[in-house]
A and B are shown apart, each in its own frame.
Chain A
Amino acid sequence: MPREIFEIPDRVETLSILSADGSLDEELAPAIDDDLLIKLYRFMLLGRRFDERLLNLQRQGRIGTFPPVSGQEASQVGPVSVLEEEDWMVPSFREAVAEMWRGRSMESIIISASGFSEGASEAGEGNNLPVSVPVGSQMLHAVGIGWGMKYRERKNVVMTFFGDGATSEGDFHEAMNFAAVYRAPVVFICQNNQWAISIPRSKQTRSKSIAQKAVAYGMPGIQVDGNDILAMVAASREAVDRARNGEGPTLIEAVTYRMSVHTTADDPKRYRKDDEVESWRAKDPLTRFAGYLSEKGLLDEEKIQAVESEIKESIQAAVDRAEEKMKSMGDPMDMFEHTYEKRPAYLEEQRELLARELKEEGNHG
């Protein structure tokens, strides 16, 4: 055959509705009622303040390590806000605010960050999976759940989160391919926060965008301003509707920024410049949305202070509850609880052996 241009029918869109400078594209703005707008704002602010408090607790040695969400509030809260309760949410490990929207309590997150598995078991009812640390692995679980829902003719969709680093993992490609081949009702949310620990987005892929990777798999891909809550809601609505209507998966690339550390064990000053962080601070999802709500007359300084103090109190109450609950946690024997549903004989023996050793230590100590 001669040398010709191969026309790919798919296209990759970008979407921005509420710009960093506060200008609004009214035609594109999704219909969101006032209560939901305030709820979105409250959760975004909660995500930010909860991060700050956890960082303090970690620096004081009161909890272990955790991955902050600061800067990514819109790219998490926007997508989960369009899910129904029976839908599934499959996180990676940096989605605390999305998990809280889905019903996870703050104290359960504190308990998890302190190293107790009770934190995961108190993660709340509903179709929400726990965190998955091997990068990208959870995307395949989302596809499997989605296909199972489709087979059983349920109308539920599955939303899964991952970062720009995960798009270099084989599991990303296998999950995208599987979801498209089976037309599984999955919404893939890539939080492109520009950094995979110390590796910048430019070292992760030579592609112009992450969204365009969808084209190769035969599904729609869209690159969205991930710091624009209105754009995230609009894009997520479309993707969720498409999945629910049996039209298959979508990839949403949320362009955002990890304003804080990778985890509390990380010091980003070693690999990124302050002026880069400052340039993203100007695009902060929270200040932008607060400005929009103020323009609409839904927020003023007094209301902001009221939300701030309500959040501050609820975080303090959660910290108090978590610290109280943790007093009765941490029995080393608990490590044997959840390896198998029914503990096999050899594990029972190992458990008894440890119990005897601990008892002897206690006697000697």
Chain B
Amino acid sequence: MSPSSPETMRRLTYRDAVREALAEAMRKDERVFLMGEDVGRYGGCFAASKRLLEEFGPERIRDTPLSESGFVGAGIGAALGGMRPIVEIMTVNFSLLAADQIMNTAATYLHMSGGQFNVPLVIRMATGGGRQLAAQHSHCLDGWYAHIPGIRVVSPATHEDARGMLWTALQDPDPVLIFEHSGLYNLEGELAADAGPVDIDRAKLCRPGRDISIISYSASLIKALEAAEILSAEGIEAEVIDLRSLRPLDEATFLSSVSRTHRALIVDEGWRSGSISAEISARIMEGVFFDLDAPVERLCSAEVPMPYAKHMEAAALPQVDNIVELIRIMVKTHG
């Protein structure tokens, strides 16, 4: 555990935490390299790899042709050949150009080779909306990838996870997808000076509460925590769970929370139909149905291509106010 006294804590952005994790991985393991579009001199589309080129050189901070299937496929090959590639895809929307390599190859290689070849590949990509990047840059498809067996899917919401998940992912013999929310990169937060690797399988109870469980991940978690603070002033104590990993899904943690609070709200930036929120709702029904005092509720994004105009985009995404209002109703109606 990291010490957390004020002297050992420091302030930094989520982006800085990602960059520190990249630098640490490259220093610790010669086989690690970063590959993607504009990761070198430009420093990455979201500036996560800024200044890494100076320390590690162009062989390890590799700018690639504009070719998603190309660099994901080459990353798979490099991993098969003994390297530990970190592939950066600018946004999750572009990852669809590499979906064949991710799903048909990376996720199946161990099976197709009869157990001979693992693919120790890490793919990082920006996900989510809220930055006015419109309908081809802003979707939250973390849950969609979580549908695929053979890979792991993690969504770091906190500075600690942005800093700590990468190294653990690199130690995993199988492919790991890391979804970094574009709305979090500028967020400042506290991190222990000696923060290091963290697990990538467990959900985390971020705030205890007795009245309702809010189950969330990625940028929606930050909104859930804000909502919980507002509700607390009104006497409603919401428990907040950060899923952290969408595959595997740590259902033990959220089921035990729901069985204590008897109510559950899932806040998921993904589209509602066929979403990870639907999966969690089903698990709650299967696991703790008789503990529920109210129907499970979900707050998701509007099922439309992401609008460009600021106010319309805001309206399409789950917001703090929506969470607060819905929980007031859930708690009062089923009191």
Contact = CB atoms under 8 A, between A and B. Distances in A.
Q: Please determine whether chains A and B interact with each other in the same assembly.
A: yes
Interface of A: 88, 90, 117-123, 129-134, 137, 139-149, 151-152, 170-171, 174-175, 177-178, 181, 337-342, 344-347
The 3 closest A-B pairs by CB, nearest first: A144-B77, A140-B73, A121-B114
> Is chain A's interface secondary structure helix, strand, loop, or mixed overall?
helix
A339 B173 CA distance: 11
A174 B75 CA distance: 13
B64 interface: yes
Interface string B68-80: 0111111111111
B248 A144 contact: no
B114 A145 contact: no
A142 B79 CA distance: 11
B65 A177 contact: yes
Given A130-B109, A338-B115, 10 more contacts: A117-B111, A123-B116, A133-B104, A140-B101, A141-B77, A171-B70, A171-B100, A174-B70, A341-B110, A341-B172
Interface of B: 33, 59, 64-65, 67, 69-83, 85, 100-101, 104-105, 109-118, 149-150, 172-174, 201, 248-249
A126 to B, nearest CB: 11
B114 A144 contact: no
A144 B79 contact: yes
Nearest to B149: A339
B81 A145 contact: yes
B74 A147 contact: yes
A353 to B, nearest CB: 13
Best-buried of B33, B70, B82, B118 by chain A (most CB within 10 Å): B70
24 contacts: A117-B111, A117-B114, A120-B113, A121-B116, A129-B80, A130-B113, A130-B117, A131-B112, A137-B73, A137-B100, A137-B101, A143-B73, A145-B77, A147-B74, A148-B82, A148-B83, A149-B81, A171-B69, A171-B100, A177-B70, A338-B115, A339-B110, A339-B149, A341-B173
Best-buried of B105, B116, B249 by chain A (most CB within 10 Å): B116
Given A144-B81, A147-B78, A178 B70 contact: yes
Contacts of B79: 144
B110 A141 contact: no
Nearest to B70: A174
A281 to B, nearest CB: 34
B70 A123 contact: no
A132 B249 CA distance: 30
B67 A178 contact: yes
Contacts of A130: 109, 112-114, 116-117
A344 B173 CA distance: 13
Contacts of A122: 114
A78 to B, nearest CB: 24
Nearest to A345: B248
B100 A134 contact: yes
A145 B111 CA distance: 19
Nearest to A116: B114
Contacts of A133: 104
Given A120-B112, A130-B114, A170-B69, A140 B76 contact: yes
Contact of B117 (A117, A129, A148, A342): A129
Contacts of B112: 117, 120, 130-132
Nearest to B247: A344
A117 B174 CA distance: 18
Contact of B73 (A129, A151, A175, A340): A175
Contacts of B249: 346
Nearest to A174: B70
Contacts of B82: 148, 152
A340 B172 CA distance: 10
Contacts of B248: 344-346
B195 to A, nearest CB: 25
A144 B80 contact: yes
A121 B115 contact: yes
B309 to A, nearest CB: 34
A123 B117 CA distance: 12
A341 B174 contact: yes
A339 B72 CA distance: 20
Contacts of A342: 173
Nearest to A119: B114
A144 B100 CA distance: 16
Contacts of A171: 69-70, 73, 100-101
Nearest to B175: A340
Nearest to A140: B73
Contacts of A141: 73-74, 76-77, 80, 105
Contacts of B72: 140
Nearest to B107: A339
Contact of B70 (A146, A148, A175): A175
B227 to A, nearest CB: 30
Contacts of A177: 65, 67, 70
A123 B114 contact: yes
Contacts of B118: 341
Contacts of B115: 117, 121, 337-338
A148 B110 contact: no
Contacts of B70: 140, 143, 171, 174-175, 177-178
B98 to A, nearest CB: 10
A143 to B, nearest CB: 5
Nearest to B113: A130
